[in-house]
Structure 1
Amino acid sequence: MNTQLVSRRLVLAGAGALGLGALTGCGEGSAGKPGQATGDGGAKGYDGPAVELDFWNGFTGGDGPFMRKLVEQFNAEHANIKVKMTVMQWADYYTKLPTAVSSGRGPAIAIMHVDSLATNAARNVIEPLDDVAKALDLKQDDFAEVVWKAGEFNGKRYGIPLDVHPLGFFYNKTLMQQAGLDPAKPPATADEYAAALDALKGKGIQGHWASPFQFTGVLSVQSLIWQFGGDMFNPESNKAIWAEEPGVKALTWFVDLVKNGHSPKNVAQDADAIALQNGKSAFNWNGIWNINTLKEKKGLEWGVAPLPNIGGEKAAWAGSHQFCLPKLKTPDTNKSTAARVFVNYVSQKSLEWAKGGQVPARKQVRESADFKALTDQAALATQVDDLHFPPPVPGIGDALAELNKAVNEAVLLKAEPAKALADAAARADKILEANRKKYGA
């Protein structure tokens, strides 16, 4: 799911890849005093022999330079550890990583989206990190509860949270003023939102373009399902429940944007975000990474706020990047310890990462004055206790792909919301059953 999401983000930002480094091999490490690794999981640093760590991620967009800067700072402060960052498209990354790990050519450190952790844990691509959390004294109180629990699978921790990237409400201030709306008070409730859309429509402005694609239509519908009190799956995660009443209400509200003339009938991929930038649409629900994209648009007067509460409960879709440690075919205590030192370092210094368009996972960083000075990111960080992630189930993205199809059919007016959701849920249930057998869950 996130692979497509990030690809959409890159199109909008107009960012190219930072370059795909060599997938194997290592360069000359930095000098450092010889000695033994501390063996404490990285809690007290690393004083062993010089070691080089491969670090893979998919930060090919505007966030990439921010992570590269953190890597450079780490290398400058750790004479006996050299981290080499290799960047590739997320689609390639998720394909290459399992193969590289199984052949003994995988990296020592990697980043994963939270909805990929369970799948890769079940495939033995990544190793449990409970020892890391204990050694570094990391606990739930250090993080937002939802993002901390999202890194667990089958009672074990596989991810150390780096960030949270939630959906937010972006608005064009100029268009709001044209419709007689106060841009300092964006609509926050269902009634306020409906009134604002009608006011915009009265000025010939289609206020909220409804995307039929996962980015950002499906993410919006998921947020609405939670707002209406529903969920994607039952507590056991063995049955899709998005076709129940909350799901029908959510998708109906979204489809009505088209039926009531607040959106064109066939919104192309990314056209909803571009319409906001070009003064064609006043409102756009998009990811926090959109902040830096909009900042680059000279002359554009825009604002950002938490998602309006349409269904009665505060809720929003979110993703999360999490550090994980791929399994090493040949155990290496020095690499394992040094990798843990790096994870803890970046986790604590994630304010720089926040500037790339993220909410830091660490509560200490998120509550700092420096982060609050990033007013746009801080506005979306206020949602942190209302965010939702997919359940930590192997192959869950396969089932969620059926919801994508339902939203697409309904928004394109090819099927009524209730039927589209019910048909998709039936298909998803079969996928969930097949995945339980496939992954041994």
Structure 2
Amino acid sequence: MKKALSSLVAIVLVFMIFLTGCGNLIGASTESEQRKDGRVQIDFWSFWGSETRRPVIEKIVDDFNKSQDKIFVKYTFIPFGDIWTKELAAVAAGNPPDVVISDLGKLKHRAQKNQVENLGPYVKNDPSIKDRFLPQAWEAVLYNNEPYALPFNLDTYMLFYNKDLFKEAGLDPDKPPKTWDEALEYSHKLDKKNGNKYERIGFYPLWDAGPDIWMVNADGEPYFDKNDKSMIADPENAEALKWIKKFNEKYGLNTIDAFKGEFGQKQSEPFISQKVAMYVKNTTFYTQIRDYGKGMNFGVAPLPERKPGSGHYSWSSGFVAEIPKGSKHVKEAYEFIKYLTDVEAQTYWGAKLFDNVANKHANDKILAQLSGEAKMVYQAAVDNLKLSVMQNMPIKAPDYDKFINPELDQALRGSKPPEKALQDAQAAVLKQMAGQ
């Protein structure tokens, strides 16, 4: 009996500690109804807590609070790995925060699950708001033709290349590879070996870029169209896998794995340390070159296309500002996310962090503040966003990648023909979508 009582007391104590320590993260603060200045307090969560990003978002919040006297925003940082789990728990508990920065890719799934507020009624009274955004960014926040968030930022992948190494290899430093065949040809010329060991690899397409990026690049089509029709097994996707396999066969998987194992950060980052001559990265990578690759002679270009005329398509995703379902202050939260995505806040964010924002007018203002290499890269990124494709997540298969990625791995390691791997992946995803 004493043992059972002790166990019960322990459970109660643990539960009380949990509530005391985590209460503010499970739901929104109760202070919103207690402000003496009469303002409505809204709780804003994001994962921006680094020494570079946190001061920027806190400045934007502070500017908003000073810009009017009706609403006060309280900012809370929650680590990237925890924020959305805690948000969903708070929504389920009926006491969510009022604004959360969430990933764009799964927004439609959250909308379908009724986990976020429909902003349609607010946008209808503010019809010009969609005109501030890049078209593909606005399209991405629509579910059943209704907006469920406002776009915040986007990314795009491009080819960075070392101009000095191009000269060393006898290549024109102003002419990066235009096609997949040229990329493979250039890689041979840019390789550097000491005996049987590679000291430098000219190009490997899967370092910091997944095969899904190259399958989008192949024909400008994601895995699924806007109606959730699967295009996983399209023949162009098989071509992409076959092309990547050529690099695996050229270098050998052991060399690729061993080479990657030596990669570091900052000055030791492989492109900056000149261990790799061409590299596919998100364009914010420029900030690492700027900070750790002083004097580096580099260029940036669209991804090489599958064949002449097929298109230099890239892959894109990003983050949105959304209002979780059950917010007690939806009207005030909407006013804040309008501010977050308007020109002033977006210009400040993008200029400080060299980040492509969803507000197209802000991108123009950011460009006007830049010069030299920074302006060159940012302009290239803005132009590349026109070629960038958003991955549509099927409502009935939000975890589709767990069926696709193992098949891609088998294809790239040579244990299954690419066509067969893609057919098997598509069959597995369609089975899940059918509820089987």
Map of 1:14-413 to 2, 5 A cutoff?
A: 22-23=24-25, 24-25=28-29, 49-61=38-50, 62-201=52-191, 205-211=200-206, 215-227=208-220, 230-233=221-224, 236-238=227-229, 240-261=230-251, 264-266=255-257, 268=260, 271=263, 274-299=269-294, 301=296, 302-311=298-307, 312-328=310-326, 332=328, 335-348=329-342, 349=344, 350-355=346-351, 356-368=353-365, 369-370=367-368, 373=371, 374-375=374-375, 376-391=377-392, 393-394=394-395, 396-413=397-414
- Structure 2: state its 5+ residue gaps: 1-21
Check 1:201–1:384 CA distance in 2 against 1; reply closer, same or farther (3 A cut).
Answer: same
Check 1:236–1:144 CA distance in 2 against 1; reply closer, same or farther (3 A cut).
Answer: same
Residues 58-67 or 275-284, more deviating: 58-67
Structure 1 position 390, deviation (Å): 2.0
- The one-letter code of the counterpart of 2:358 is A
Counterparts of 2:427 and 2:49 in 1: how far apart (Å)? Answer: 36
Check 1:367–1:259 CA distance in 2 against 1; reply closer, same or farther (3 A cut).
Answer: same
- The one-letter code of the counterpart of 2:119 is L
Check 1:82–1:159 CA distance in 2 against 1; reply closer, same or farther (3 A cut).
Answer: same
Counterparts of 2:118 and 2:134 in 1: how far apart (Å)? Answer: 20
Contact kept in structure 1, 2:217 and 2:311, CA below 8 Å:
no
Counterparts of 1:162 and 1:388 in 2: how far apart (Å)? Answer: 16
Counterparts of 2:284 and 2:359 in 1: how far apart (Å)? Answer: 18
Q: Which has the higher helix share?
A: 2
The count of aligned residue pairs is 391
Counterparts of 2:289 and 2:107 in 1: how far apart (Å)? Answer: 31
Check 1:243–1:142 CA distance in 2 against 1; reply closer, same or farther (3 A cut).
Answer: same
Counterparts of 2:143 and 2:49 in 1: how far apart (Å)? Answer: 28
- The one-letter code of the counterpart of 2:313 is A
Counterparts of 1:336 and 1:101 in 2: how far apart (Å)? Answer: 14
Cα RMSD (Å): 3.1
Structure 1 position 201, deviation (Å): 2.8
Structure 1 position 73, deviation (Å): 2.0
Structure 1 position 26, deviation (Å): 5.2
Structure 1 position 366, deviation (Å): 2.0
Residues 170-179 or 92-101, more deviating: 170-179
Counterparts of 1:233 and 1:55 in 2: how far apart (Å)? Answer: 32
Check 1:121–1:272 CA distance in 2 against 1; reply closer, same or farther (3 A cut).
Answer: farther
Check 1:111–1:427 CA distance in 2 against 1; reply closer, same or farther (3 A cut).
Answer: same
Structure 1 position 64, deviation (Å): 3.9
Normalised by the length of structure 1, the TM-score is 0.78
Counterparts of 1:89 and 1:219 in 2: how far apart (Å)? Answer: 27
Counterparts of 2:332 and 2:121 in 1: how far apart (Å)? Answer: 14
- The one-letter code of the counterpart of 1:385 is K
Structure 1 position 256, deviation (Å): 1.4
Contact kept in structure 2, 1:167 and 1:286, CA below 8 Å:
yes
Residues 121-130 or 410-419, more deviating: 410-419
Contact kept in structure 2, 1:162 and 1:362, CA below 8 Å:
yes
SS at match of 1:54: strand
Counterparts of 1:269 and 1:428 in 2: how far apart (Å)? Answer: 33
Contact kept in structure 2, 1:57 and 1:111, CA below 8 Å:
yes
Contact kept in structure 1, 2:211 and 2:241, CA below 8 Å:
no
Normalised by the length of structure 2, the TM-score is 0.79
Give deviations 1:353-380, integer Å, cap 9, x for gaps: 2232421212211233436655222211
Give deviations 1:99-157, integer Å, cap 9, x for gaps: 10121331111122111111111221101111232333335433222111110112221
Structure 1 position 86, deviation (Å): 1.8
Give deviations 1:176-213, integer Å, cap 9, x for gaps: 3332334444333345434422321367632122438x
Structure 1 position 216, deviation (Å): 2.2
Structure 1 outlier segments of 4+, above 6 Å: 28-31
Counterparts of 1:270 and 1:184 in 2: how far apart (Å)? Answer: 29
- The one-letter code of the counterpart of 2:360 is K
Structure 1 position 269, deviation (Å): 8.0
Contact kept in structure 1, 2:222 and 2:390, CA below 8 Å:
no
Counterparts of 2:102 and 2:396 in 1: how far apart (Å)? Answer: 14
- Structure 1: state its 5+ residue gaps: 1-19, 33-48
Structure 1 position 270, deviation (Å): 10
Bigger Rg, which one? 2
